Structure 1
Amino acid sequence: MPDTSPPWPHAPPHWILQGGTYFVTAATYHRQRLFDSPEKLDVVTGILIDTAREFGWQLRSWAVFANHYHWLADSPAGSGESLRIWLTELHRRTAIEANQLSGTIGRRVWMNFRDTHITHQTSYLARLRYVNENPVKHRLVEQARDYKWCSAAWFETNAPKAFVESVRRFKIDRLRIWDDFDE
């Protein structure tokens, strides 16, 4: 009988070739709540923002939690090829820092990531809203802007008011996003 198993049974394929906007979700190993303090969440958020800048990616929205994160970003210079290298560095640095803070040097921190190349404006706007409101979805705050480790407050402060209102009206109930993390 021929083998009919998928070629990547434990990880999604990453066809990161084109430039543009990407939506990324990553989870900790076995969905463990490894970033379980404000200090650790600060570390992940800070390193996410710093490494995005270092690799030339423009973050549009982000949300960091105890066992996963989501973000939406534009690739540099028309190519998404640096995404894997950026995420490797992001995960390396955050793992080292989290393990030092926890006193567990060498522990595996990250499992894998899922990426989606966004090609339609409606997909972009829906994911922008989804990421910004994800702390509310996980019942961490009543208003997303009150969650320190996401871009909602930044977005409300820096984006044009009419754009913020348009994004808020965007439907997100039909999005299929891997986000079952039991916060």
Structure 2
Amino acid sequence: MRYRRANIEGGTYFFTVVTFGRKKIFSTPENVELLRQGMKHVMKKHPFVIDAMVVLPDHLHCIWTLPPEDADFPVRWRLIKSFFTRNCGAEYRQKISDARQRKTEQALWQRRYWEHTIKDEQDFMRHVEYIHYNPVKHGLVNAPGGWAYSSFHQYVKQGRYPENWGAGVVLDFDDGVGCE
């Protein structure tokens, strides 16, 4: 079966990217910073806007908007994953080397990722909420503001959320919002 991806120039997309075997490679600030560096590096030649993002220990969610006349998010993800893999610590590089010798899938990333084309403002906001609430959903914190690796803090600074948004409540999301 041939896998088809959306191809909308200038589109806005929600992504879920998971580590191989759900390894908790983003449990260290150094690896989260390396992911940020990789994204900044790729943005120089292949610009995009990160509208919202959260990095959890074994996966990340984000919303990107691509420039007009550009729909090539797959190349961006390939370059980001490659940058991270090339520059990660020796412990992970050894695992990658061992995996290659066994001719298995790359040891840091799941081969594919989930993408969803954002349809309208309501769809956008539901996915932003999903992203920001995700650390609570996974039991990592009691409120979105307690998770460091999230665009939630920028949204609070911009006045788009109160600081206590998502605290002390259980949010349910419709089918089709988010993907683990």
TM-score (norm 2): 0.78
Q: CA deviation at 1:35?
A: 2.6
The one-character-per-residue Cα deviations of 1:108-158 (angstroms, maximum 9, x if unpaired) are 21111111111111100100111122111111122222312111111211x
Worse-matched range after superposition: 84-93 or 95-104: 95-104
Residues 53 and 174 of structure 1, relative CA distance in 2, 3 Å threshold: farther
Unpaired runs of 5+ residues, structure 2, are 100-105
Asked if 1:164 is matched to 2:161, the reply is yes
* 1:29–1:110 CA contact under 8 A, matched in 2: yes
Letter in 2 for 1:67: D
Give the CA RMSD over aligned residues: 2.4
Output the CA distance in 2 between the equivalents of 1:101 and 1:132: 30
Residue matched to 1:135: 135
Pair 1:39 & 2:39 matched = no
Q: How much has 1:99 moved relative to structure 2?
A: 4.4
Measured at CA, do residues 138 and 91 of structure 1 come closer, stay the same or move farther in structure 2, by a change above 3 Å? same
Tell me the equivalent position of 2:88: 98
Structure 2 CA distance for partners of 1:48 and 1:65, relative to 1, 3 Å: farther
Task: Show the counterpart of 2:102.
Answer: none
The size of the alignment, in residue pairs, is 163
How big is the shift at 1:100? 3.3
Asked if 2 retains the 8 angstrom alpha-carbon contact of 1:127 and 1:172, the reply is no
Q: What amino acid is the match of 1:150?
A: S
SS in 2 for 1:150: coil
What does residue 179 of structure 2 align with? 178
Deviations 1:53-79 (A, max 9, x none): 542111110011221111001111243
Q: 2:7 aligns with which of 6, 16, 21?
A: 16
| CA-CA distance at 1:43 after TM superposition | 1.7
Match of 1:84 among 74, 92, 95: 74
What percentage of residue pairs aligned between the two structures are identical? 17
Unmatched 5+ residue regions in structure 1? 1-6
**1:56 alignment partner, SS class:** coil
**Distance in 2 between the 1:59 and 1:95 partners?**
21
Map 1:68-79 to 2 at 5 A: 68-79=59-70
Whole-angstrom CA distance in 1 between matches of 2:132 and 2:114: 18
Q: Which residue of 1 aligns with 2:120?
A: 120
User: Which deviates further from its counterpart, 140-149 or 47-56?
Assistant: 47-56
TM-score, normalised to structure 1's length? 0.77
